[in-house]
Structure 1
Amino acid sequence: MPRVRKIPQRMCIGCQEMKAKKELIRVVRTPEEYIEIDSTGKRSGRGAYICPSEACLEKAIKGKRLEKALKQPIAREIKDELLERMKQI
């Protein structure tokens, strides 16, 4: 009988849905206190997962869920930069 591999699940902080880890984008607060999108998913620091849609990112920012998940207030410039990067993905 073949062994079934467990698929890691994470919750999107925007829509609050559980999805496969590979479907989500990781936003990370690095040890240097800089917030950015982690394309590899392996950078060190505190991370939060979000769907690759602008609507989910806007929900997370508006409800301050991103700030709570990263345990740091987020400046307006960083929010705008995250929205721009999300449009590119």
Structure 2
Amino acid sequence: MKRRVKKIPRRTCIGCGTIRNKKELLRIVRTPEQEVLLDPTGKKSGRGAYICPAVDCLEKAFKGDLLAKKLEATITPPDKERLREQLATVIPGE
């Protein structure tokens, strides 16, 4: 009898385009209240996008409004600054 192999969810970083396991990436979510937040648990409700845990990937996602397109939201400069601050607390050594 064959054993079932458990499927590991994989996601694509919107900054650099690499495909990684879901748990290796950070989720950015647009909540139903239209807030844009970093979701370290990956469980907040809302539309999400994934990035590598690196400042470079976040900056690439901001360029060309990639993040805004994926989240179907307008991302204001205060939102960008808040995401940078939240990312700095999550990434060790930053």
* TM-score (normalised: structure 1): 0.94
Instruction: Please identify the structure whose Cα radius of gyration is greater.
Output: 2
Aligned-residue offset at 1:73: 1.2
* TM-score (normalised: structure 2): 0.89
| CA–CA distance in structure 1, aligned partners of residues 59 and 46 of structure 2 | 22
Is 2:25 aligned against 1:24? yes
Please list every run of at least 4 consecutive aligned residues from structure 1 whose deviation after the TM superposition is greater than 3 angstroms: none
Q: Which runs of 5+ in 2 are unaligned?
A: none
What per-residue deviation string (whole Å, max 9, x for no partner) do you get for residues 44-76 of structure 1?
100001111000000000121100000111000
Aligned alpha-carbon RMSD (Å): 1.0
Aligned residues: 89
| CA–CA distance in structure 1, aligned partners of residues 74 and 48 of structure 2 | 14
Q: Which runs of 5+ in 1 are unaligned?
A: none
Identity among equivalent pairs (%): 53
Q: In structure 2, what residue type is equivalent to 1:17?
A: T
Is 2:62 aligned against 1:61? yes
